[in-house]
Amino acid sequence: MHKAGFVNIIGNPNVGKSTLMNAFIGEKLSIITSKAQTTRHRILGIVNGDDFQVVLSDTPGIIKPAYELQESMMDFVKSAFEDADVLLYMVEIGERELKDEAFFKKIQSSSIPVLLLLNKIDKSDQGQLEEQVQLWAEKVSNAEIYPISALEGFQVKEVFDRIIELLPESPPFYPKDQLTDKPERFFVNETIREKILLHYKKEVPYAVEIDTEEFFEDEDIIRMRSVIMVERDTQKGIIIGHKGSALKRVGIEARKDLEKFFGKQVHLELYVKVNKNWRTNQKQLKRFGYNQK
Ligand SMILES: Nc1nc2c(ncn2[C@@H]2O[C@H](COP(=O)(O)OP(=O)(O)OP(=O)(O)O)[C@@H](O)[C@H]2O)c(=O)[nH]1
Ligand SMILES: [Mg+2]
């Protein structure tokens, strides 16, 4: 017998969805930062066994969209409701509600199995933990509750074993050696964006999109050229920094990560370009893989 299905991780921003996805996969597929809205796409991560295939989806944190990019991010979340065989609804310790009522109702009335993952319990004590388990058991009575720490790997295996039990009987959906649905360039873009989220303040990272124009694999080196797109001239200056120092740091750190990811030497060329208001421009969003409609 072979089991396979879609297991989709949803929840508020910053609760640890991507950290869990990477823990299941055992590789850094999704970028992780302490800032909200780190993940902008639906990213598949596939875990294969002899008699199972778990197709995980990491999704953007649920927010009330304020502009077109965020609307498209929420469309990815909606799609994750539609094809799930198992829903992983993640909350973090101390959290008391899912901000979007409509999404929350969908979870409460879901006819498919819901595992409610109470994450970051490494930051809590026994009393708080018990109180929170009780709270969520009342709020989402259709869910099975698992207190976990995605960061420390606590209870991650137990959740995975339960997922396997819940999966329907099915042939695999993807070739058994496939790890994700995204192309190599996507991971280049994301690695660079992670460094930008880490090093720049306020609105700047949210106005940034990356486009890898060249990805050329030679025998012993991969040559990449990526554009960092911003919305305004002032942001361009901030990204580059004094004598180019800020941009240089992004380049060095991204290259190191990419060499690890691809297991090969990397040459990464970065430049910065203004693309006015790309976040609200449907055509531009489509070009960057957001607007799927
Ligand atoms: N203490 C603790 N921190 C965690 C845990 N899991 C994740 N984090 C931290 O929480 C922050 C957010 O983690 P992400 O995995 O990026 O969260 P996310 O839900 O994917 O966030 P968005 O993509 O922005 O919606 C990071 O700083 C993580 O290191 C955990 O189990 N314990
Ligand atoms: Mg994420």
Ligand 1 probe mutation, 14, 24, 63, most atoms within 8 A of CB: 14
CA 219 to ligand 2 centroid distance, Å: 33
DSSP result, 153-183: TBTHHHHHHHHHHHSPB---SS-TT---SS-
Tokens of 240: 């580059």
For residue 198, CA distances in Å to 121, 191, 205, 249, 252 come to 24, 11, 9, 11, 14
Ligand 1 atom nearest the C-alpha of 14 is 21
Ligand 1 probe mutation, 9, 10, 15, 19, most atoms within 8 A of CB: 19
pLDDT tens-place values along the chain, 293 residues long: 999 999 999 999 999 999 999 999 999 999 999 999 999 999 999 999 999 999 999 999 999 999 999 999 999 999 999 999 999 999 999 998 877 888 889 999 999 999 999 999 999 999 999 999 999 999 999 999 999 999 999 999 999 999 999 999 999 999 999 999 999 999 999 999 999 999 999 899 999 999 999 999 999 999 999 999 999 999 999 999 999 999 999 999 999 999 999 999 999 999 999 999 999 999 999 999 997 66
For residue 32, CA distances in Å to 1, 58, 106, 291 come to 36, 11, 27, 23
Give the closest ligand to the alpha carbon of residue 155.
Answer: 1
pLDDT at 276: 94
Distance CA 94, CA 128 (A): 8
Which protein residue's CA is at the shortest distance from atom 11 of ligand 1?
34
Ligand 1 atom nearest the C-alpha of 21 is 15
Helix (H) or strand (E) holding 205: none
Ligand 1 atom nearest the C-alpha of 150 is 31
Ligand 1 atom nearest the C-alpha of 61 is 25
Which protein residue's CA is at the shortest distance from atom 3 of ligand 1?
120
Compute how many other C-beta atoms are within 10 angstroms of the C-beta atom of residue 87. Answer: 21
pLDDT at 292: 65
pTM of the model: 0.95
Ligand 1 surroundings by CB, under 6 angstroms: 13-19, 32-34, 36-39, 60-61, 119-120, 122-123, 149-151
Give the closest ligand to the alpha carbon of residue 154.
Answer: 1
Distance CA 98, CA 90 (A): 10
CA 190 to ligand 1 centroid distance, Å: 16
